[in-house]
């Protein structure tokens, strides 16, 4: 398996624009997580899915953020409209019930100017 695949790796956008981050989890994993990493706040869990169903989105900072998982092999995190304070590295991770260890993608570095 190629691991968790995220796209794009880097995204630079202007304030007010819509941003969509994409993730392909490892095949067979039934949990998918979206994290945000910043220097100030460290690694924050935004939302996670189990079997494609959103379970806990309490970490989503505002209504401008939304996430979907239309099938077991694809998820998106959308920010609309984007703001400079959304600049961060966004990670997608997946896991299964075996040991609960999370496998991370390479991340998307988002810069909102």
Partner 1 sequence: GEDVEQSLFLSVREGDSSVINCTYTDSSSTYLYWYKQEPGAGLQLLTYIFSNMDMKQDQRLTVLLNKKDKHLSLRIADTQTGDSAIYFCAGSSGGSYIPTFGRGTSLIVHP
Binding site for partner 1 (CB under 8 A): 4, 31, 33, 42-43, 45, 48, 56, 91, 93, 95-97, 99-107
Whole-number minimum distance, CB 38 to partner 1, in Å? 11
Query: Would you say 64 or 103 has its CB closer to partner 1?
Result: 103
Distance of alpha carbon 81 from alpha carbon 61, whole angstroms: 13
Query: Would you say 65 or 91 has its CB closer to partner 1?
Result: 91
Whole-number minimum distance, CB 47 to partner 1, in Å? 11
Whole-number minimum distance, CB 106 to partner 1, in Å? 5
Q: What phi and psi, each to the nearest 5 degrees, are found at residue 103?
A: -105, 125
Whole-number minimum distance, CB 76 to partner 1, in Å? 18
Q: Are 30 and 97 in contact (CB under 8 A)?
A: yes
Q: Are strands 74-79 and 19-24 parallel, antiparallel or unpaired?
A: antiparallel
Distance of alpha carbon 55 from alpha carbon 49, whole angstroms: 5
Query: Would you say 42 or 63 has its CB closer to partner 1?
Result: 42
For residue 72, give the DSSP letter: T
């Amino acid at each position: 398996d190629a691991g968790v695949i995220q796209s794009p790796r880097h995204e630079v956008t202007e304030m007010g624009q819509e941003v969509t981050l994409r993730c392909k989890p490892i095949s067979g994993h039934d949990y998918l997580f979206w994290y945000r990493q910043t220097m100030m706040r460290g690694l924050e869990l935004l939302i996670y899915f189990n079997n494609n169903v959103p379970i806990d989105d309490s970490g989503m900072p505002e209504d401008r953020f939304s996430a979907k998982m239309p099938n077991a092999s694809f998820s998106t995190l959308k920010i609309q409209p984007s703001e400079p304070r959304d600049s961060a590295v966004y990670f997608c991770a997946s896991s299964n019930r075996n040991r609960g260890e999370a496998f991370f993608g390479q991340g998307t570095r988002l810069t909102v100017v």
